[in-house]
Amino acid sequence: MTTALSLTNGPGTVLTAAGEIDMSNADTFAAALTSAVTLASGSPLTVDLTAVQYLDSAGLAALFAHADHIEVLTGPILAPLLEISGLNELATVRWA
Amino acid sequence: MSGTEHPLSPHAFSADPEVGADLAAVDWAATPLGDPGQWPQSLRTAVSILLSSRFSMWMAWGPELTFFCNAAYRRHTLHEKYPWALGRPASEVWAEIWDDIGPRIDTVLSTGEATWDEGLLLFVERSGYPEESYHTFSYSPLHDDDGALIGMLCVVSEDTEQVIGERRMRTLRDLGSDPTVARTEQEMLLFTSRQLGRNLGDLPFTLTYLFGDDGRALLAASTGIDSDHPATSPDLWPAGRAAAGEPAVVELTGKAFTGLPSGDWAEPPTRALVLPLLQQGGAPYGFLVTGLNRYRPFDDGYRGFLELAAGHVAAGIASARSFRAQQRRAEELAELDRAKTTFFSNISHEFRTPLTLIMGPVEELLARRATADDEVRAELEVIHRNGLRLGKLVNTLLDFSRIEAGRMQARYEPVDLSAVTAELASAFRSAIERAGLTFDVDCPVLPEHVHVDLGMWEKVVLNLLSNALKFTFDGGVRVTVRADGADAVVTVTDTGVGVPADEMPRLFERFHRIENARSRSNEGSGIGLALVQELVRLHGGTIAAQSETGSGTSFTIRLPFGHAHLPEYTEVPAGPATPLSANADPFLQEALRWLPSQDGPVPEPGPVAGSAPTTGASVLVADDNADMRDYLTRLLRSAGYRVVAVVDGRYALEAARADTPDIVVSDVMMPRLDGLQLVAALRSDPRTAGTPVLLLSARAGQEASIEGLDAGADDYLFKPFSAAELLARVRANVDLARLRNHHARWRTALIDSLQEAFFVCDESGAIIEINSAFTDILGYGPEGLPYLPVHPWWPDRDTDADGHQAVADAFRMLLGRPTGSYTIPVVHRDGRRLWAAAAFNQVRDPDTGRRVIVGTFRDVTAEQHAVQRDSALAALGLRLSEAENVDGALTAVLAELREIWQATHVLAAVFSDADNPALTCTDPTVNWDNLPEQRRAALLALRARPVLTPVTEDHTGTGITLGHPAGTMVLWIEAGPARPFSAPDETLLALLAGHLGQGLNRIHQIDQQRETALALQRAILGPDRLPSGFAVRYEPATRPLKVGGDWYDTIELADGRIGIVVGDCVGHGLEAATVMGQLRSACRALLLRDSSPARTLMSLDVFAAMLPGAACATVFCGVLDPGTGQLVYSSAGHPPAIVGHPDGSTHLLDQGRSRPVAVRTGSERPEAEYTVPARATLLLYTDGLVERRRQPLSSGISRVSAAVQRGLGTPIEDLATEIMDRLIPDNGYDDDVAVLLYRHPGPLDLEFPAESGRLAPVRSALRGWLERCGIDPATTQNILVAAGEACANAIEHGHRDSPGGRIRLRAAATAGDLRLVVSDTGVWRNPDPAANPYRGRGLTLMRAFMQAVTVTSGNTGTIVDMQARIL
């Protein structure tokens, strides 16, 4: 069931993640996020998490760090988490 | 904040809904403030502050100073004026005090400065009358929106209770403060009036009335009112009610009450309280009227204060009156004393002349040796001695009258006090030493002379020495003289009987004699010490006494050196003193007569030939005066009587009881036991009741003789009496008594010849007569009669409570019933315990008409021992049969043995091989190491002795050796004080020890059988380890075996499925267990080979057919897939399994059923399939759980179904216990019961290293388990995050400093709940949000996704316990 994290950069300003994000791979995710935000150079980066089956507080931390510069795309699995963590108050969270 | 506010509920009023509502109800339009909707912000704010404050406040606003207040002010101050006051002008609200507060408010409004008043007295009308009240308050200015002064705010606290309470307390304190202890009634009334008059606030006026002897009330004191005011007339008050102790409130209306004083107030009281002045245990002394302050409510506090004040007045009167009474008594006593002295000195003087005329010729006759034969000479000496004694007494009395009249002429001369005192003392040496006492005179030379009158000093020293000798029977007398500063100190110390503490104050009192003190003589007038004190005082000295009863007495005299303290001192040259012997002689002669005659007991002379007829009658003479004793002895012997003479009543009683005389001749006044007491004692003893007693007394008069005859004396003679009269009376009484006693003697002889013990007991239970068999059995003889209850042969209440109780019960029966019999334990005089069987009858004494009880008893100790032996054997047998093992049996038996012998403790030492035995003792603190060395040695010695031979060590206890399964056992019974070991006891012990040895061996065998059975049970009952999710219970019907015919089993099959079997063989006990064991093993083996339940049971049919006792067993056999919950099963006549669904419904697995095992071998068996739903509970059981007599099986199954239903939310282990407890019949299970429970899925239990890489696999496992639990995806996701965060925390915090630690995740589900526990072995740090701002989110997420999260962190690790509800 557990799937490894895979990251895909864009077309354009999109970062797509799939699989599970926990403290074991949160650093990878954070690095990808940072470089994608940098590349987007000012224009909002869309982070597509619809294919992510698990996200923990380490992954959330990476998202919070770039909250001002990202738009998060989520499916039903992560939606409650993003709401409870308060990310939707700092960043735009859209349902896919 | 903006918005439109509703005009009727302005925001300003909302701070207090209640007062706010009343404010909102005010018609504001009618006030200068207008509609609240239009109020300026400043007013709204002020009102809001006011209402929200819990401190008492009011405020005034606007041109009319419109009144507002808050709830606290309403409650504390405003009372009935609320809510009327709201919105009114303040001057109207507080009209009655406006004169006081108006000017203050004006000042605030004109100056803008706040005021402060503390404890201001205001008369407010809030309860319907002007009320005295005190307030501490501050007025502060209020400004409108433009800053102009517009009103004021008052913050107030009311101090009324405090101020008034302090005022009352002050009065009570002052009333109780009078330091003088005793004073006259008048002084006391003046004092209380002064105190009451200082509190005109609570006591505007008071009137104190006292009842005179005629019962009329008289005004004794008043405060606050003139004593001539018409209201002081006692007739105005309800004196009658007060006299009866009742208080009353009087309305002060009527002419007499006009113009009453008003105290501290403007208007006089309208009511008064009348309180009785109560006397303890008597009618009231009088009553107290107090005018009541009309400005205070007459409440409990006020009434209580007045009652306390009245109590103080009453107490004062009580102490004054008791002081007066004491004083009067003291004066009367002093007067009586004076009169007595005068009388004695007057008559003493008259004695001197005749005395001189007796003594002169007697001395002359004695000097003429030639003329006197021995007998005459002896008589003359008696006269001489007694003349001296009389002279001494007369002189002492004369000394007193001289001192009293101030006519004592002292001749003080300087002397060496040591030498004088030592010489005086030496005169007494021979007398003291003859009494067998030591005499120690220690008088070193003093540095200065002391001025004394030698004549007086002699009297002082001789009196003290004579006193010491009189009261000392053992030890000795010591005289010392020392210098101590400016004083010479002389002490006379004895080791005599001492003076009781309560007599010490009266020791030096004239004519006071200490009653009942043991002394050498009862002679004495009680004035010796009084005279000593007077004489020492004449010397300017002091005398003090110290004494302790039983230890002795010490007199200490202090005389100053020199003569400055002697006002009338006239130097007298030291000259030759009066010869010592002249003064000392009377003292010495008297003292010598107290001592036993040097010749020993009075010798019995042979009958005097030719004199009076020899009657042979025996006479017992008792007199403490040796001369009188000798005189009587001589007189009676010369008349032919056999005489025994003794010195007091006690000796007389002993002598009479030992050998009853024909007559007793006794003096009345004697030490220890006087004549009257002697008569009473003789009369109460049946043996001496008939012995005539002739009393002799110096006290003349009808009354004395009546007293003597009343006590039971047969005759009475006054001293002086003539010899002829005495002899005549003795003869008459002896003859009369002989006649009378003839029958009594015959009766005594008859009773004494009885074989059984005989006793007579009076109505009080005192034993008044016994025979010789009584003495033989109990050891108590007639000399101790009467024996008063509690009789000395009763077992001791403390050491033998049961025995004591038995005797007490029998004794009650003896006194209460006309006839009866009983058997009781009694204690022989030598301490032996006996059993006595007694029978009794009530009869009427023909002589006295009184009811007496006549009884007989015999010694049935031997029979009793037989009974005791039988019951002891029975008790021992019971203990042995009840015991479950050897140790338990030993403990129980030791307790039983201790009970039988009332032993201090009983111990058993079992020597298996080493010298250190295993010790069991009824006293748990005793062990081998803390036993006394001596006892250890004794036990080791006993070990070597032949078995079953008791050995009694004197008084300490008894030991015996016997066989114990583990070796030789020594049993030791530590004797208790109540139960010494006798020969029958040893026999009994040997018998019991024999039984004990056999019993222990039998139990040991059973023990071994049981051990075997237990091992067997462990081997055959069920698996050691259960797969997860299962719980089992087994309860055998037969004890002490712990196995039976029922079993449960789980078998982990190769494909991961689990075989489950519950079976029930016919019967129970060891036999059924052996069958069960084989069936179980067979079933297990068959399932491992072929996992089809139906085929397994069919093969079991074949196996069981060959096994005797196995046919008809019932078996439920199933195979469960723990992943899916799929269950394939087949039942061989077994009751259906029960499934409890999470929604609360239950289902019976009643398919796949067929006949019991081995009933029709070879036939096909059906098989059924069922999927256990997620979080459902499966219960397999045997019929012992559900079967009840006279009830259908179905009702038992319903009961179990209900229990499963109730326990759906209970963890599976707890549920197993709960089901066994809930279904247990009243008398316990009477059939074997086996129970197997399973909840699907079984709990998850993962352990993994603390590494982040392990999170994903753990998550995966958890996700799978949650799916098996039937959890929906959204909830699953939440639980995954919560669990993931807990694990991440454990990795990050718990094992940051100790990598390689392990983490454990456990999860279990019930029907409605899911519980997750993540534990680690590290130490968590408190999250530091500054260091890692996002990390703290973990716990937030856990709490958000789970219903309950508890984190317990300690030194050994951290446990995160989370619970989620599943719907």
Partners of B139 in the β-ladder = B115, B154
B1249 touches chain A (CB under 8 A): no
Shortest Cα distance, chain A CAs vs residue B1283, angstroms? 10
3-state SS track over B1288-1344: HHHHHHHCCCCCCCEEEEEEEECCCEEEEEEEECCCCCCCCCCCCCCCCHHHHHHHH
Which residue of B1254, B1255, B1287, B1335 is the best one to mutate when testing the A interface, meaning the one whose CB has the most A CBs within 10 A? B1255
The answer to whether A34 contacts chain B (CB < 8 Å) is no
Give the distance from residue B1120's alpha carbon to the nearest chain A alpha carbon, in angstroms.
Answer: 25
Is residue B59 within 8 Å of residue B142, measured between CB atoms?
yes
The DSSP output letter for B731 is H
**Rounded-to-integer distance, Cα B803 and Cα B833, Å:** 10
Query: How many whole angstroms separate alpha carbon B1081 and alpha carbon B1022?
Result: 10
Residue of chain A nearest B1273, judged by CA positions? A77
pLDDT of residue B371: 60
The conformation of residue B891, written as its DSSP 8-state character, comes to H
| pLDDT value of position B700 | 53
Please tell me which of the candidates A2, A20, A57 has its beta carbon nearest to residue B1338. Answer: A57
Judge: B1259–A20 Cβ closer than 8 Å, yes or no.
yes
B1256 touches chain A (CB under 8 A): yes
- Return the closest-CA partner of residue B508 out of B550, B463, B549: B463
- The DSSP secondary structure of B909-969, one letter per residue, reads EEESSSSS-EEEESSTT--TTTS-HHHHHHHHHHHTSPTT--EEETTTEEEEEEEETTEEE
Task: Identify the residue among A3, A53, A54 best suited for mutation to test binding to B, counting B beta carbons within 10 A and taking the highest.
Answer: A54
Instruction: Out of B1273, B1274, B1288, name the one closest to residue A56 (CB).
Output: B1288
Average pLDDT over residues A22-41: 87
CA B1128/CA B1120 separation, integer angstroms? 7
For residue B1344, give the amino acid letter: A
Q: Which residue stretches of chain B have pLDDT < 50?
A: 1-9, 182, 576-579, 598-614
Interface of B with A in 1257-1276 (CB under 8 A): 1257, 1259-1260, 1263-1264, 1273-1274
Q: Is the minimum CB–CB distance between A27 and chain B shorter than 8 Å?
A: no
- Neighbour count for residue A53 (Cβ, 10 Å): 19
Mean pLDDT, range A1-10, rounded to an integer: 66
Q: Using CA coordinates, name the residue in chain B closest to A61.
A: B1334
Q: Could you identify the residue written with the tokens 């709830």? A: B71
What DSSP assignment string belongs to B305-361? HHHHHHHHHHHHHHHHHHHHHHHHHHHHHHHHHHHHHHHHHHHHHHHHHHHHHHHHH
Q: What is the DSSP letter of B545?
A: E
Considering only CA atoms, give the Rg of chain A: 12
Note the pLDDT of residue B1013.
Answer: 62
Mutual orientation of helices B580-594 and B374-405 as an angle, nearest 10°? Answer: 120
Q: Which of B1277, B1285, B1341, B1345 should we substitute to test contact with A (largest number of A Cβ atoms within 10 Å)? A: B1277
- Best of A3, A5, A6, A22 to substitute, by most chain B Cβ atoms within 10 angstroms, is A22
Query: Distance between CA B224 and CA B233 in Å, rounded?
Result: 15
The pLDDT score that the predictor gives to residue B1326 is: 59
Task: Round to whole Å and give the CA distance between B18 and B1029.
Answer: 60
Asked if the C-beta of B1344 comes within 8 angstroms of chain A's C-beta atoms, the answer is yes
Residue B705: predicted pLDDT:
64
Provide, as residue numbers in chain B, all residues whose Cβ is less than 8 Å from the Cβ of A23.
Answer: 1252, 1255, 1288, 1291-1292
**Could you give the CA distance from residue B865 to residue B1249 in angstroms, rounded to a whole number?**
77
CA angle at residue B345 from B528 to B517, to 5 degrees? Answer: 30
Full-model pTM: 0.41
Q: Count other C-beta atoms under 10 Å from residue B886's C-beta.
A: 21
pLDDT, position B1307: 94
Predicted complex ipTM: 0.91
Six-digit token pair at B1047? 């079993």
Distance from CA of A39 to the nearest CA of B (A): 24
Label residue B298 exposed, middle or buried (CB < 10 Å: 0-12, 13-18, 19+).
middle
Which residue among A24, A54, A57 places its CB closest to the CB of B1253? A24
Element (H, E) at A58: helix A57-65
Q: Which of A1, A56, A65 sits opposite B1260 (nearest CB)?
A: A1
Å between B1320 CA and nearest CA of chain A: 17
* Interface contact B1288-A84, CB threshold 8 A: no
